[in-house]
Amino acid sequence: MNAQRAKEIYESSDHIAVRLDDGQSVWIEKVDVSNGVATVQVGKSPTDVQTVKVERLKEH
């Protein structure tokens, strides 16, 4: 996915399922469009937060 789409999903009021390229479900918490990265919560654990390249994100 590109950074603009990640930002649209983040800002959407709809629940849009997103996964990492390894299949893990994630929740987008922040998108840095200029650097092409997103901060995501992996799974249901609020402490499992990672910053990943937006290219690793896939709409499910």
Contact partners, residue 5, CB within 8 Å, separation at least 6: 54, 59
Q: How far is CA 9 from CA 28, 46, 52, in A?
A: 8, 19, 15
pLDDT at 46 over 90: no
pLDDT tens per residue across span 5-41: 999 999 999 999 999 999 999 999 999 999 999 999 9
Full-model pTM: 0.89
What domains can you pick out in the chain, each with its CATH number? 3-59 (2.30.30)
